[in-house]
Chains A and B, each alone.
Chain A
Amino acid sequence: EADIYQTPRYLVIGTGKKITLECSQTMGHDKMYWYQQDPGMELHLIHYSYGVNSTEKGDLSSESTVSRIRTEHFPLTLESARPSHTSQYLCASSPSLGVSNEKLFFGSGTQLSVL
């Protein structure tokens, strides 16, 4: 149903490496989000964007950065990965049809492991 794609699905890297998690959607949605999810825990919002050139930090403090140069693309970058960054990262988007009843469409996630 959802046309939102995340790559890679799985990533294992060493400490100190720079990584970029990709997220693209073909639905023309203005709003995009990055969530972090640990096993058995709730999703935490780390970044969001209302549109091109608009990015905001979410509730959870994160050392990652994001950019929104194109509507369909919302990559997340970690300049120097650490073991504490090991988690699942979920990208989502929603249309700007209004406020309350917007449905979130999620990608399949990237499972990141930092050794």
Chain B
Amino acid sequence: KNQVEQSPQSLIILEGKNCTLQCNYTVSPFSNLRWYKQDTGRGPVSLTIMTFSENTKSNGRYTATLDADTKQSSLHITASQLSDSASYICVVSDRGSTLGRLYFGRGTQLTVWP
């Protein structure tokens, strides 16, 4: 069964600290992996998209890594800010159709305290 599991479910850190969020998936065949940031009451916003051949991709203070062999990804946030408080969603796409079906994780709820 194609699944995307994220951990931890929730995380609280102090402003300025770094953190790493995890994503494990069983989706096959694999096409790409995406990380989205979703502020409370808003729609998700894309942070990164990585294909099979990409091991790491950065977007400002966000760095995503991908290990396609172990089917794991991580999102590292450096020097956290209060505005980083949000849900971070891992999404994996397969190549089973022309649409490329998307499998969503339940997200990690990050809270940054001052």
Please report A residues at the B interface, Cβ cutoff 8 Å. Answer: 1-2, 4, 6, 40-45, 48, 90-92, 99-109, 111
Contact = CB atoms under 8 A, between A and B. Distances in A.
Contacts of A103: 34, 46, 49
Interface stretch (B20-28, B78-86, B97-105): B97-105
B45 A1 contact: yes
Contact of A106 (B9, B45, B51): B45
Interface residues of B, number: 25
B73 interface: no
A22 to B, nearest CB: 14
B32 A101 contact: yes
Contact of A42 (B9, B41, B104): B104
Nearest to B3: A42
Interface string B43-60: 111100101000000000
B17 interface: no
Contacts of B32: 100-101
A100 B31 contact: yes
A108 B43 contact: yes
B42 A100 contact: no
Contacts of A92: 43
Contacts of A43: 44, 89, 104
A42 B105 contact: yes
B100 A99 contact: yes
A58 B45 CA distance: 21
A40 B4 CA distance: 14
B104 A109 contact: no
Most A CB within 10 A of own CB, among B4, B9, B46, B89: B46
